[in-house]
Chains A and B, each alone.
Chain A
Amino acid sequence: MHDHISAHSQSLWSKAWTRLKRNRAAMASLTYLVLMVLACSFGPMLAPNSYSELFQSYTRVPASLSAYPRAEQIGPAIEATAARARLDLTGWQLQGDTVVIEVSARRAIDPRAVQYFDRSDLFADTRLQATDDTHATLTAQIERHWFFFGTDATGRDLFARTLIAGRVSLAIGVLAGLVAAVIGVFYGAIAGFAGGRTDQIMMRVVDVLYSLPFIFFVIMLVVFFGRNFLLMFVAVGAVLWLDMARIVRGQTLSLRRQEFVEAAEALGVSPFAILTRHIIPNLLGPVIVFLTLLVPNVIILESFLSYLGFGVQEPMSSWGILIAQGARAMPSANWMLAFPALFLISTLFALNFLGDGLRDALDPKDH
């Protein structure tokens, strides 16, 4: 009578995936997030500069797609370096990537003067050709550096730093999100499944933790555990599990009243098997949706704590730390705020759209 349906049907998961694929905003966000994760994972290795290297000649240089040094920077740099080497500059000229510098000195020129040039971030491979004791010609290669996002106040490449910071922020977001989810799911599922007095006590504990001022709680955790990357996200996860526990408990309570759970009880299925076979699989939908909204919350929280100065230690960084530094450098060096903020906000946007898409896909109400 109903033979027109095929022998195999899609599970709810693959149906949800089909629905998600139709949601263009969610799919674009998913693609963006995958690219962001790849960029933050492998980008720091491919970036032109290391995230921790200090370029003293290039503190707070603006973002640029063309290489440093700029033509107008070369002259003052030669003057400054020559002065440092106690040499008098008589003239210089640029020949392609090579700069030829004529210098003189009152006393004999020490060949080690080339080190002053090599030490500068602008020149490399400097050679000295003495014409006589007090005059010499220096030839140096111009060292090209790319700072796509500019540099910070200590001359570190912001491009590399933004990517490595993204690695930290995303890792904390995902790991702390998972910590919160695991604690929350187990706590909530147990409370909801046990019911009665156990449930009441467990939920009263959640109420008390809710009433604790949130910042105080986090600061206490930081004070206890120190500024440790690993413990940082444990602390964040330990704070954020409360919402998850409440959601999961509510879902569990309503699932428990479903007749298919009662049918399983009538079959003699053990409570553990009911929990794992019937309750948890049906909880996964709301949990996944909540998790995609939890991860951005963790990232915001992490950046907030970093902003307050409780984050990871230099030279490591996170988006929150970069944003804090950028905000302080605000009126003059606005690229220091713009790029980390752009990365953070676009990632959060994408996570939000993906979360909305997942909710619509997993819990379709429109039919």
Chain B
Amino acid sequence: MLRYSLRRLATALPTLLAVITLSFFMMRIAPGGPFDQERALDPVIRANMEAAYHLDLPLWHQYLIYLGNLLRGDLGPSFTMPEFTVAELFAAGLPVSVQLGGWALVLALLIGGGLGIAAALRQNGWIDVAVVAVATAGSTIPTFVVAPVFQLVFGLSLMWLPVGGWQDGAARNMVGPVVCLMLPQLAVVARLMRGSMIEALRAHHIRTARAMGLSGWSVVGRHALRSAMLPVVSYAGPAAAALLTGSVVVETIFSVPGVGRYFVDAALNRDYTVVMGAVVVVAVFTIVFNLIVDLLYAIIDPRVRYA
């Protein structure tokens, strides 16, 4: 088992390096620079600033410096918010995004999974039709429609919840963002679970279990669910990485200080270090969660361990 996970990790690290390299050069080759935005700078000041950030060095040299700093855990200073380092920005924003995304993920898996199982057990019954409708709605209605409607209904009309803001993570402030983050994921999980459960219930070994007179709970909960979980688990890995690293739309609409907005703002402002920081964070999350998925897979399915 340990050897298995080490092997998976060994293939993940080159991917991480490739992602960092690709992003670094794509970002740098793109037209524009961090100091283009403001009114024309005095050429001397500009040269000084570029020298301070090593922007005057050849690109490959900058790349090596960046990699070296990264290995020491130094993500560099922000270009557009010079009073902060990138690490400080993420240290402040990431816990917010992780909290929201974590709740959304857990709820999506529990509720979506439950709905999917219920639908599969009563295929073509009214529960099934309702779940399919909810799942379709969840995956087709964009978050940027759901979020303002949510604000309107629960914030402005009913006044049950605040329209936005964070207030150090008060539960009332988290409801809206979590619901809006959760709905599309819930839809996918419900669909996946329904499909794989229907498939699992058709397996020969399920017929064996029923022929042995096992109770419905044992057939469904012990035998079918375990194999039906596998596609959901493999979906949950990348989904977790995406959820925990924040969402531009939700964080903007609900005015939440997460890290999702950094992607768009920083990329548009050519804040190289912040963009690279975001890339590194997302890539690391992706790799870590894929690793977790692999391990879960091996725990659920003994055949994988020996493959």
Contacts and interface: CB of A to CB of B under 8 A. Distances in A.
Contacts of B19: 208, 211-212
A341 interface: yes
Contacts of A208: 15, 18-19, 22
B144 A213 contact: no
A213 B136 contact: no
Nearest to A346: B140
Interface stretch (A50-58, A102-110, A300-308): A300-308
Given A216-B275, A219-B267, A220-B26, A211 B144 contact: no
B263 A211 contact: no
A207 B141 CA distance: 28
Interface in A309-351: 320, 323-324, 327, 330-331, 334, 337, 341, 344-345, 348-349
A213 B283 CA distance: 7
Contacts of B238: 210
Given A211-B16, A211-B283, A327-B148, A216 B263 contact: yes
Nearest to A348: B140
A220 B30 contact: yes
A207 B151 CA distance: 38
A215 B264 contact: yes
Nearest to B147: A327
A46 interface: no
Nearest to B17: A208
A341 B23 contact: no
A266 B266 CA distance: 58
A196 to B, nearest CB: 17
A219 B152 CA distance: 30
Contacts of A117: none
A224 interface: yes
B106 to A, nearest CB: 23
B107 interface: no
Contact of B139 (A219, A223, A352): A352
B31 interface: yes
B141 A345 contact: yes
B22 A327 contact: no
A215 B27 contact: no
Contact of A337 (B26, B148, B249, B253): B148
B278 interface: yes
Contact of B30 (A224, A304, A331, A352): A224
Contact of B279 (A213, A324, A353): A213
B127 interface: no
A331 B238 CA distance: 35
A308 B144 CA distance: 10
B286 interface: yes
B32 interface: yes
B152 A331 contact: yes
Interface residues of A, number: 35
B282 interface: yes
B140 A220 contact: no
A345 B140 contact: yes
A334 B15 CA distance: 46
Contacts of A357: none
A228 B187 CA distance: 33
Nearest to A205: B18
Contacts of A220: 26-27, 30, 267
B286 A216 contact: no
B278 A304 contact: no
A216 B22 contact: no
Interface string B11-39: 00001101100110011001110000000
7 contacts: A219-B267, A220-B267, A223-B31, A303-B142, A304-B249, A307-B144, A307-B249
Interface of A: 204, 207-208, 210-216, 219-220, 223-224, 296, 300, 303-304, 307-308, 320, 323-324, 327, 330-331, 334, 337, 341, 344-345, 348-349, 352-353
Interface of B: 15-16, 18-19, 22-23, 26-27, 30-32, 136-137, 139-142, 144-145, 147-149, 151-152, 156, 238, 242, 245, 248-249, 253, 263-264, 267-268, 275, 278-279, 282-283, 286-287
Given A220-B267, A223-B267, 6 more contacts: A211-B283, A212-B283, A213-B279, A223-B31, A304-B249, A349-B137
